A and B are shown apart, each in its own frame.
Chain A
Amino acid sequence: MEALIAGILTVFTVGPLIGIVAGVAVGIFMGAIPGLTAAMAIALLSPVTFGMEPITAIAFLTGIYKGGTFGGSISAILLNTPGSPEATATAFDGYPLAKAGQVKRALQMALFASVAGAVLADVLLYLVAAPFSKIALKFGPTEITFVVLFAFTFVAGLTGRSMLRGMSACAFGVLCAMVGLDPMSATPRLNFGFIELQDGLPLLPIAIGMLGVTEVMLAVERSIEKRRGNSTNAVSSISDTSGPPLPITEFLTYWKTILRSSLIGSAIGALPGIGASMAAFIGYGTARKYSREPEQFGKGSLDGVAGPEAANSAVVGGSFVPLLTLGIPGNVTTALLIGTFLVHGIEPGPHVFKTEPALIYGIFTILFVANFFNLAVGLLGSSLYGHIVKAPEYVSYSIVGLTCLTGVYASSNSVFSIYVMIVFAVIGYFMKKFDYSFVAFLIGFVLAPEFEIAFRSFLLIAQGDPVGLLLKSPIALLFFTLTVVAVVRIAWSEHLNTTGKKQRT
């Protein structure tokens, strides 16, 4: 109880509260611009949080995550172009509503559903995380090895169109994380004589290069194609955000859709690799399935906005379950958050619940409070949305490019980091072109150090009999079975998909 009160009190101070407001505003702004995502905003702005108090930094980045999830729906509704991938399903009914003059109702439904979904997910996180962390505390090297292996397989199999390419990307992430000092013998490894690589490849330049600079490269490519007359991407936008509002009493009539989607989003968020986009599509499909007017879907149904928005926002709370209890990030955003946590001396995992309970309750409070700031900033800024989404590409992407460089230089005060960023931006560009999952790469990179220590310890403890040791641990055996089932299931699904017998959704 003391820890809970201490956690709440830490958040209700000037720094964290300003951090949440600023984060939510930045998140909504970045999320609203097509092509720019909350993950990119977190990658770009992580370096500036290094000088902040840890709780303020977490508040700021969590605010971006929350705001960015809603922000993506703004351009989906106004432009029919999702600001972020998870808002794709929102466009199906949001844009028809906007075209029918109900733009304010659509935007408010997206905002209210997003906030309601996130609140429900955060309550679930609060209820689930602490008991689950008690189980996770019993995990030794054997269990951690197979839990992480499961996360690798699941993420690699579900974040791209090919499991083999996803697994290759994940293994490449692991390989990149091996640069630096060997964690067990402290001997140099794969640094090719560069003193700057003695501490390993830094996460932020890699993430910023792959997320931010790659998008700038694609924007330049689009501009060149456009000049040559090969591109015809005329977008019809709606800049007037007025119209009849959505009364709260009417919003409450959609409670079943929101509750259903929130549960779907929370469950999907807790599983590594599936992500908010899948949650939004399942939320949309479920809303349609249970709707009294399924024929209205695609023509402008408020249910069709509420379903995906509640689901994709609930993923945020759900994704904090494996992050805080196991130290396993399930998506790019939480992988970046884990990197920033480590910079601030916080190592997420079950032991944090014992050693720093006030911090954990502080994070829960931040997640919860950020929803209400999201609501306030979302409502106050609604008149600006029309202008934000119409920002020319040459302004947004060029400034993103400069921010990438400034952020990376500021994070290390070294131009070497800029070169690392450029190299990984080029790698990221080709990974994107050839469908090698960046998410799988990043999860491999972030989890590799923990996996290496656990895996090598497991082999040492096993004394030449790893199968015997695996069979002695029910949890490890469960995760090993889940890994095998996931591989077979995903491979079979891909096979059916390529042979045209079944369309994977």
Chain B
Amino acid sequence: MTITNRNTVSIVIVLLCGIALWIIPGQVEDGETSFATGAALLPDLAVSLILIFTLLDLLISFGKSVQSAANRKMAVAGDIALKGAQFSGVVIVAGVMALYAFVLLHLGYLVSSTLLLAFLMTCTGARHFSKLAVITVAAVCVLYLGMRYGFGVHLPVLPDLTVLKG
């Protein structure tokens, strides 16, 4: 039997569903429960369905891989290749955006957005500093002015001093 990356993900989902089914009762105040129509009905049903569908997917995948030696390749052929480097995009973008959310009120929109954009452009392949600087400043200014005067959205342009003072 071949355990593929897809199978591993299915097993993780099954485990998460088990945890969810255990957590849900503590997170739902069940009021009206006539004919099983309480507030927990749909959350429980949704998690149970995910669990059933994922288990079925897993069983079908295992079934295919044990049918014959030749078929053993089938599960692998439909698998998703995962390498450490592939996750770098997720880690970098999620990390820098979380940092942006954290510093937005401390540094203000213009400074934090300029830093973020310059970083993202470097990560996505920008090589020339002059181009990077011009595009970054222009894009941040256009976005800020467009939001402020085009759509009437007020962004925190300067650092929030109350936040800085704690």
Report A's interface with B, CB cutoff 8 A.
47-48, 51-52, 162, 164-165, 167-168, 171-172, 174-175, 178, 182, 184-185, 187-192, 213, 216-228, 392-395, 397-399, 401-403, 405-406, 409-410, 415, 418-419, 421-422, 425-426, 429-430, 433-435, 448, 451-452, 455-456, 459-460, 462-464, 498
Contact = CB atoms under 8 A, between A and B. Distances in A.
Contacts of B147: 48, 406, 410
Interface residues of B, number: 68
Given A178-B46, A189-B27, A213-B97, A398 B53 contact: no
B76 to A, nearest CB: 14
Interface string B99-117: 0111011000100010011
Interface in B18-32: 20, 24, 27-32
Contacts of A223: 123-125
A152 B102 CA distance: 37
B120 A171 contact: no
9 closest cross-chain pairs (CB), A and B = A221-B89, A185-B31, A182-B39, A220-B89, A398-B120, A175-B46, A418-B101, A394-B124, A187-B29
Q: Among B31, B85, B113, B153, find the residue whose CB has the most chain A CB atoms closer than 10 A.
A: B153
Given A164-B57, A175-B43, A415-B104, A460 B34 contact: yes
A204 B125 CA distance: 28
Contact of B121 (A178, A221, A394): A394
Contact of B94 (A51, A168, A425): A425
Contacts of A464: 35
Instruction: Tell me the interface secondary structure of chain B in the complex.
Output: helix
Nearest to A455: B42
A402 B39 contact: no
A25 B113 CA distance: 25
A418 B104 CA distance: 11
Instruction: Tell me the interface secondary structure of chain A in the complex.
Output: helix
Given A403-B143, A410-B155, A174 B97 contact: no
A185 B30 CA distance: 8
Nearest to B87: A221
B120 A402 contact: yes
B9 interface: yes
Given A392-B126, A434-B6, 5 more contacts: A191-B27, A220-B124, A221-B90, A399-B117, A409-B104
